[in-house]
C-alpha cells in the first residue's frame, strides 16, 4: 500500500488549548479509514487542517510525499483532497444542477470560461446527470437549494464533493441529521466509489463505522488515543471506556 495523505506531528493550538496535539496519521491509497472520538476530540479541527481551512501551529502535511502544509485551500482541492462539511455548506440561491455543473467545470479546467454558457460542455452535463441520478436529486435539480428538504441538501453536500473527482475524500459526519433509514443508502453510494479513492470518515454511528472502515483511529483530547483495524479497535477495552456512557450523547451531537 502506498501512502497518499500523511501528517507528521501536527499541532494546532487555540490560545492555550491544543485542539490537535502531535497527530501523526497515515492515509493509504484506497483507504477506508474512520476517525472516531468523543465530542471535542479534535476530529473536525484535523479535517480543517488537512483541507487548509486552518493553518497548523506546527507539524507538516504531506500529499503524495509533497509538503502541502501551507498550500492554499482551493489548490489542495485541485490536487484531489476534497471534503464534505458536518454542517451543510451549500450555494443556497443556486440550483443543485448549477452547483454541480460549476464544481464539475472547476475540475475540467473550464470554470474560467466567461464566454460560453455553463451547460455549453456536453461532458459537464453528462457528469451532472450521473451525480443527480446517483444521489436521487434529479427531480429537484432545478429548485433553489435553500428550498430543498434537509435530506436532499445533505445528499447535495456529498454529491458536490464527488463532483470534484476526489482522490482523498474527507467525510465529516456525512449522515448527520439523516434519518436512520436513509443512512445506509448514503453509505452505499460512498462504498461504490472507485477503490483507489481514499476515504477518511468522521462518524459517530458505530455500526456504520465498523461496517464501512478497515482502519480506525481514535482521537481523544486532540491526540491519537488508539489506532488499528476494526477488529482490534472494537474490542479495545480502553476505547470502550472512552465511549462508555456517551452513547446517548453521541446521537445528539450536531
Which residues contact another protein (rule: CB under 8 A)? Answer: 51, 53, 72-75, 77-78, 82-83, 85, 89-94, 97-99, 101-103, 105-107, 110-119, 122-126, 128-130, 132, 138, 141-142, 160, 163-164
**Residue number, 37 or 166, with CB nearest to another protein:** 166
Q: State in angstroms the smallest separation of the CB of 59 from another protein.
A: 22
Residue 100: which residues within 8 A CB-CB, separation 6 or more?
A: 127, 128, 131, 132, 156, 159, 160, 163
Least distance in Å: CB of 229 to another protein?
Answer: 30
Helix (H, G, I), strand (E, B) or coil at 181: helix
Minimum gap (Å) between residue 142 Cβ and another protein:
5
- Least Cβ distance, residue 119 to another protein (angstroms): 2
CA distances from 15 to 12, 18, 50, 55, 57 (A): 9, 8, 20, 14, 11
By DSSP bridging, strand 198-202 and strand 58-63 are unpaired
CA distance 216 to 234: 9
Q: Which is nearer to another protein, 84 or 215 (CB)?
A: 84
CA 45 to chain centre: 12
Q: Which is nearer to another protein, 83 or 154 (CB)?
A: 83
- Cβ proximity to another protein: between 8 and 78 the closer is 78
Amino acid at each position: 500500500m502506498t501512502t497518499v495523505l500523511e501528517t507528521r506531528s501536527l499541532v494546532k493550538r487555540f490560545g492555550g488549548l491544543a485542539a490537535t496535539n502531535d497527530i501523526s496519521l497515515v492515509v493509504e491509497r484506497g483507504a477506508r479509514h474512520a476517525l472516531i472520538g468523543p465530542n471535542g476530540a479534535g476530529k473536525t479541527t484535523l479535517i480543517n487542517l488537512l483541507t487548509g481551512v486552518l493553518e497548523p501551529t506546527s507539524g507538516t502535511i504531506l500529499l503524495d510525499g509533497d509538503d502541502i502544509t501551507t498550500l492554499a485551500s482551493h489548490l489542495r482541492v485541485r490536487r484531489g483532497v476534497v471534503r464534505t462539511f458536518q454542517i451543510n455548506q451549500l450555494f443556497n440561491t443556486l440550483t443543485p444542477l448549477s452547483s454541480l455543473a460549476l464544481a464539475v467545470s472547476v475540475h475540467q479546467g473550464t470554470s474560467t470560461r466567461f464566454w460560453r454558457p455553463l451547460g455549453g460542455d456536453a461532458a459537464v452535463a453528462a457528469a451532472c446527470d450521473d451525480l443527480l441520478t446517483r444521489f436521487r436529486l434529479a427531480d429537484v435539480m432545478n429548485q433553489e437549494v435553500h428550498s430543498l428538504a434537509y435530506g436532499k441538501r445533505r445528499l447535495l453536500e456529498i454529491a458536490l464533493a464527488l463532483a470534484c473527482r476526489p482522490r482523498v475524500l474527507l467525510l465529516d459526519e456525512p449522515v448527520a441529521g439523516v434519518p436512520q433509514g436513509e443512512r445506509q443508502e448514503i453509505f452505499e453510494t460512498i462504498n461504490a466509489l472507485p477503490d483507489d479513492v481514499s476515504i477518511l470518515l468522521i462518524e459517530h454511528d458505530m455500526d456504520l463505522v465498523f461496517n464501512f472502515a478497515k482502519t480506525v483511529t481514535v482521537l481523544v483530547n486532540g491526540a491519537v488515543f488508539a489506532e488499528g483495524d476494526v477488529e482490534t479497535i472494537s474490542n479495545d477495552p480502553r476505547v470502550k471506556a472512552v465511549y462508555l456512557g456517551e452513547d446517548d450523547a453521541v446521537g445528539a451531537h450536531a
